Amino acid sequence: MLFYIIRRLAIALPTLTLLIVFSFLLMHMAPGGPFTAERELPPQVLANIEAKYGLDQPIYMQMLEYIYGLVAHFDFGPSFQYKDRAVNEIIATGFPVTLTYGTLSFIVAVLLGGLLGITAAIHRNSWLDYFAVGLSIGAQVLPNFVMGPILVLIFVLWLNLLPGGGWNGGQWQNLVLPVIALSTSYMASITRLTRSSMLEVLHSDFIRTARAKGLPKRVIIFKHALKPALLPLFSYLGPIFVSMITGSVVIDYYFSTGGIGIAFVNSALNRDYAVMMGVTILMGGLTILFNLLVDLAYAWIDPKIRY
């Protein structure tokens, strides 16, 4: 096990390095730079700015300095677009926002999705099952950039129940719509996943045996079926969580929550190299970390798995 963790961490390092190099080069290939503006800067002014941000150096030097700053001081550098802010600061304000509504959406999706899936499987081919399956597919195919405006139309304009956006320090009123919009499609996938794996377990031999022994249904489901049925869900949790965080662009866009998702898209469009790198590295690191955690948890829960 320990060896496995070490091996996984050993892979993480080249992965991140590759990610940094790849994004760095790709980014610098994009037309225009951070200081390409509507009002073209006079060459001398531009030269001063580029010197300040080290953009006058050859690209490999820029990359090395960037990596050095990152490794030595954990410093993602200054933002080129927001000139009195550092990338660390932008991440420090944006990431907790995304993390808050991301985690909440995650919990909602897993709990509701899991519950719905199990219920559907137990009552297979009943109206409840059809409802759950229909709802989950419906939710999965409705893009959240459609959900966003529809939710706003209903809850903000018609019912006047909730604010139309903003973060406001994370008040619950500001959280409701983003969490609904973000969690729905994930909830749908989880419902379908839980349903099919629960069905599979219910049809397996050991449950049949338990049933033949005359154990009450509730005992069979909760004592014997639940754990193996939820196992496949685990391998899905890592990617789902990361995907929620990276998929937060739409939420930030429609609900003006000011999270990390919109920061990335804007930085790509603004050629704010440092912010873009910072967010990419953060996301890459998170992906690696979560996949590792999930795999470890998986191994812990299911002793049959050996690495």
Partner 1 sequence: MVKSAFIGGALAFSLLSTSALAANLHPETGEKLADEQVFTYRILDEHSSLDPQIVEDVTGSELMRDLFEGLYNQDNDGNLEPGVATHHDLSEDKTVYTFHLRPEARWSDGKPVTAHDFVFAWQRAADPKTASPYAWFVELMSLKNAKKIVAGDMSPSDLGVKALDDHRFEVTLSAPLPYFPLMTTHATTFPSPQWAIEAHGDAWTKPENMVSNGAYVLAEHVPSERSVRVRNANYWNNEETIIEKVVTLVINDENAALTRYLAGELDRTEIPSGQYPSYKKSHPEEAVSFPRLCSYYYWFNHSDSGPEAFNDKRVRQALSFALDRNVITDRIMQGGQFPAYTFTPAVTAGFEVPEVPFGQMSQKERDAKAKDLLAEAGYGAENPLEFTIVYNTSEGHKKIAIAASQMWKQKLGAKVTLENLEWKTFLTRKRAQQFDVSRNGWCGDYNEASTFLDLMHSQSSYNDGKYVNEEVDKLLSEAKTAENPQANYTRIEEIIADEMPIIPIYHYTNVYMLRANLKNWPINNAEQNWYSRNLYKTAE
Partner 2 sequence: MSVHLDRSKITEDPGHHTAAGRAAEAVAGRSLYADARARFFANKAAMVSVIVLLAVLAFALFGSVLAVWDNETIDWDLIGVTAEHGAPSLANGHYFGVDELGRDLFARTVQGTTVSLMVGVVGAAIAVIVGTIYGAISGYAGGRIDNLLMRIVDILQAIPYMFVLILLLVVFGRSIAMLFVGIGLISWLDMARIVRGQTLSLKNKEFIEAAKTTGVPGLIIVFRHIVPNLIGITMVYATLLIPNMILAESFISFLGLGVQEPNTSWGALISEGASTLQYGMYWQLGFPLFFFVVTLFSFFFIGDGLRDALDPKER
Binding site for partner 1 (CB under 8 A): 30-33, 35-42, 44-45, 48-49, 51-53, 78, 81-85, 89-90, 93-94, 97, 149, 152-153, 156-157, 160, 163-167, 252-258, 262-263, 266, 269-271
Q: Which of 86, 128, 135, 137 binds partner 2 (CB under 8 A)?
A: 137
With CB under 5 to 8 Å by kind, the binding choice for 29 among partner 2, partner 1, none is: partner 2
Interface with partner 2, residue 125, by CB under 8 A: no
Q: 78 has which bridge partners?
A: 86
Q: Examine residue 196 and tell whether it contacts partner 2 (CB under 8 A).
A: yes
Q: Retrieve residue 207's tokens.
A: 């449950």
Is there binding between residue 243 and partner 2 (CB under 8 A)? Answer: yes
CB of 191 to partner 1, least distance (A): 29
List, as one string, the DSSP characters of the chain: -HHHHHHHHHHHHHHHHHHHHHHHHHHHHSSS-TT--SSPPPHHHHHHHHHHTTTTS-HHHHHHHHHHHHHHH----B-SSSTT-BHHHHHHHHHHHHHHHHHHHHHHHHHHHHHHHHHHHHTTTSHHHHHHHHHHHHHHHS-HHHHHHHHIIIIIIIS--S-SS--TTT-HHHHHHHHHHHHHHHHHHHHHHHHHHHHHHHTSHHHHHHHHTT--HHHIIIIIIHHHHHHHHHHHHHHHHHHHHHTTHHHHHHH----HHHHHHHHHHHT-HHHHHHHHHHHHHHHHHHHHHHHHHHHHH-TT---
Q: How far apart are CA 254 and CA 2, in angstroms?
A: 44
Sole binder of partner 2 in the list 239, 293, 300, 307 (CB under 8 A): 239
Q: Rule CB under 8 A: is residue 9 a binding residue for partner 2?
A: no
For partner 2, the closer of residues 216 and 245 by Cβ is 245
C-beta of residue 181 within 8 angstroms of C-beta of residue 151: yes
Give me the least distance between CB of 105 and partner 1, in Å please.
Answer: 19
On whether the CB atoms of residues 247 and 182 are closer than 8 A, the answer is: yes
Nearer to partner 1, 145 or 206 (CB): 145
The residue count for binding partner 2 (CB under 8 A) is: 62
Please state the closest distance from residue 44 (CB atom) to partner 2, in A.
29
In the list partner 2, partner 1, none, the entry touching 59 (Cβ below 5 to 8 angstroms by class) is none
Q: Which does 190 bind (CB under 5 to 8 A by kind): partner 2, partner 1, none?
A: partner 2
Three-class SS string for 160-171?
Answer: CCCCCCCCCCCC
C-beta of 116: minimal distance to partner 1 in Å? 30
Angle between helix 87-122 and helix 260-270 axes, rounded to 10 deg:
130
User: Of the candidates 114, 192, 259, 275, which one interacts with partner 2 according to CB under 8 A?
Assistant: 192
Residue among 92 and 305 whose Cβ is closer to partner 1: 92
Nearer to partner 1, 13 or 161 (CB): 161
Binding partner at 164 among partner 1, partner 2, none, C-beta below 5 to 8 Å by kind: partner 1
List interacting residues with partner 2 (CB under 8 A).
11-12, 14-16, 18-19, 22-23, 26-27, 29-31, 137-138, 140-146, 148-150, 153, 157, 185-186, 189-190, 192-193, 196-197, 199-200, 203, 231-232, 235-236, 239-240, 242-243, 246-247, 249-250, 264-265, 268-269, 279-280, 283-284, 287-288, 291
